[in-house]
Structure 1
Amino acid sequence: MLELLRQDTDIWDIFTRKEEYDSGFRDGFGRFPHYLSSSGSPFEPSVSEYLHDRGYRIEYPDGHPFAVCLTHDIDTVYQPSIAKAYTALRSLKSGDLPGGLAGILQLRSRKLPLCNFRDIMALEEQYGATSSFYFLALAPGDEDYAYDVRELEAEVGAIADAGWEVGLHGGHRAYCDLQQLQAEKKRLEAVLNRSVVGYRNHFLRFQVPKTWRCLAEAGFAYDTTFGYADCVGFRNGMCHPFRPYDRTAGREIEIVEIPLAVMDVTLDIYMRLDARRAWEITRRIIDAAERCRGVATILWHNTSLGDGQRRFYEKILKYSAEKGAWMTGGAEIARVWRNHD
Structure 2
Amino acid sequence: MLDSHSFALCLTHDVDRPYKTYHSLYYALKQRDPNHLKSLLPTKNTYWTFEEILDLEQDLGVRSAFYFLNERGIRERPLRSWLSKDAWRLYAGRYSLSDPAIIDIMHEMDAGGWEVGIHGSYESHTDRDRLQFEKESIERVLGHEITGGRQHYLNLSVPKTWEHHRSIGLKYDASLGSSSEYGFNYGYGVRRPFDDSFVVFPLTLMELALPDVRNDPDTAWEICESLLAEAEANNAVMTVLWHPRFYSEFDYPNYTWIYRQLIETALEMGAWVGPPAELYDSLEHPSPDTESTDPLTKQPPRNQ
- Report the TM-score, using the length of structure 2 for normalisation: 0.77
Q: Find the counterpart in structure 1 of residue 190 from structure 2.
A: 241
Partners of 2:150 and 2:44 lie apart in 1 by 23
Work out which of the residue numbers 159, 169, 175 in structure 1 matches 2:109. Answer: 159
Partners of 1:159 and 1:321 lie apart in 2 by 22
The answer to whether 1:190 aligns with 2:190 is no
Q: Give secondary structure in 2 for the equivalent of 1:126.
A: helix
Partners of 2:129 and 2:43 lie apart in 1 by 31
Q: Find the counterpart in structure 2 of residue 282 from structure 1.
A: 224
Letter in structure 2 aligned against 1:144 = Y
Where does structure 2 lack aligned partners over 5 or more consecutive residues? 78-89, 286-302
Partners of 1:261 and 1:301 lie apart in 2 by 14
Partners of 2:233 and 2:168 lie apart in 1 by 34
The answer to whether 1:312 aligns with 2:255 is no
Provide Cα deviations, 1:297-341, integer angstroms capped at 9, x if missing partner.
110010111231111111111211211211100101111123696
Provide Cα deviations, 1:16-41, integer angstroms capped at 9, x if missing partner.
xxxxxxxxxxxxxxxxxxxxxxxxxx
Q: Find the counterpart in structure 2 of residue 119 from structure 1.
A: 52
1:169-184 map, 5 Å: 169-184=119-134
Q: Structure 1 residues 218 and 231 mapped into 2: Cα distance closer, same or farther (>3 Å)?
A: same
Partners of 1:266 and 1:221 lie apart in 2 by 27
Q: Find the counterpart in structure 2 of residue 207 from structure 1.
A: 157
Checking the alignment, whether the CA contact within 8 Å between 1:68 and 1:320 is kept in structure 2 is yes
What's the Cα RMSD here?
2.9
Work out which of the residue numbers 292, 296, 300 in structure 1 matches 2:234. Answer: 292
Work out which of the residue numbers 70, 78, 85 in structure 1 matches 2:11. Answer: 70
Work out which of the residue numbers 144, 149, 152 in structure 1 matches 2:91. Answer: 144
Q: Find the counterpart in structure 2 of residue 4 from structure 1.
A: none
Provide Cα deviations, 1:139-190, integer angstroms capped at 9, x if missing partner.
3436525000221111110011000000101111111211111111111111
The answer to whether 1:132 aligns with 2:75 is no
Provide Cα deviations, 1:265-320, integer angstroms capped at 9, x if missing partner.
12248x99943332222222221111121211110010111231111111111211
Tell me which stretches of 4 or more aligned residues in structure 1 moved more than 3 Å: 84-87, 271-274, 338-341
Checking the alignment, whether the CA contact within 8 Å between 1:77 and 1:111 is kept in structure 2 is no
Letter in structure 2 aligned against 1:200 = R
1:33-72 map, 5 Å: 59=2, 63-72=4-13
Letter in structure 1 aligned against 2:168 = A
Q: How many residues align?
A: 263
In our comparison, the structure showing a higher alpha carbon Rg is 1
Checking the alignment, whether the CA contact within 8 Å between 1:241 and 1:337 is kept in structure 2 is no
- Report the TM-score, using the length of structure 1 for normalisation: 0.69
Q: Find the counterpart in structure 2 of residue 257 from structure 1.
A: 200
Q: Give secondary structure in 2 for the equivalent of 1:135.
A: strand
